[in-house]
Structure 1
Amino acid sequence: MITIYHNPRCSKSREGLQLLELEGKPFTTVKYLNEPLTKNELTTIIKKLNITPIELVRTKETVWTENYKGKQLTDDEVIEAMLKHLTLIERPIVVNGDKAVVARPAERIKEIL
């Protein structure tokens, strides 16, 4: 099953959702700001993305620059920061089985379909 972790207020996330709709394959939408991820879910997504937690952080967000920038954080601390401040999570994330992409640009979704 394909899942998109979506923020409706984000234009890139809306583009990803639109691309999935055009592909015509069934998918699930998770509005992660309303349905917060668990630590296990976020950790699993990061593994499927094959990246480090910091690579999923929106480091230009005010909450990051004011609270975390310049600090030496462990992977676990970065994950905890994303769980505490969900807007720090890069979006949209699309998962298909064992594969996942941050769909920026939206065409990256086609890599895992």
Structure 2
Amino acid sequence: MSVTIYHNPRCMKSRQTLARLEERGIEPNVVLYLDSPPDEKTLKGLLKKLGLKAEQLVRKKDHKALGLAQPEDEAGWIAQMVAHPKIIERPIVVVGKEARLGRPPESVDEILP
């Protein structure tokens, strides 16, 4: 089964989670989401796999730093994440129909093959 990590190499938790995967002998598909941002459909799929609402996947500190308005609904949060991928919480690890945030990195263990 393939493993994908939405990764930001500048983020310590993201680097730790990637290292954790590699230590287990897993060579994940690495998506540098700041360079290749997920589109609306991809984000909706990730949210479903994570079992989160869009607002829960937003890094509030980065959202505030960018001076973005508070969206009124799910579609607004998703639109902001598509336009400003920096506000997406990371890392996200996807295995099949499940996904986990690597915060802490150990949380991804429960979905690994």
Question: Taking structure 2 as the reference length, what is the TM-score of the superposition?
Answer: 0.92
Deviation at 1:109, TM superposition (A): 1.1
Alignment of 1:1-113 (within 5 A): 1-61=2-62, 62-63=65-66, 66-68=67-69, 71-113=70-112
- Assess if the C-alpha contact under 8 Å between 2:71 and 2:77 holds in 1: no
Question: Taking structure 1 as the reference length, what is the TM-score of the superposition?
Answer: 0.92
Amino acid at match of 1:21: E
4+ aligned runs moved over 4 Å, structure 1:
none
CA distance in 2, matches of 1:97, 1:19: 18
Cα-Cα RMSD: 1.0
Are the structure 2 counterparts of residues 22 and 83 from structure 1 closer, same or farther at C-alpha, using a change threshold of 3 Å? same
Percent of pairs identical after alignment?
Answer: 41
User: Aligned to 1:67, what secondary structure does the other structure show?
Assistant: coil
Are the structure 2 counterparts of residues 72 and 32 from structure 1 closer, same or farther at C-alpha, using a change threshold of 3 Å? closer
- Assess if the C-alpha contact under 8 Å between 2:4 and 2:93 holds in 1: yes
Amino acid at match of 1:30: V
Q: Any gaps of 5 or more consecutive residues in structure 2?
A: none
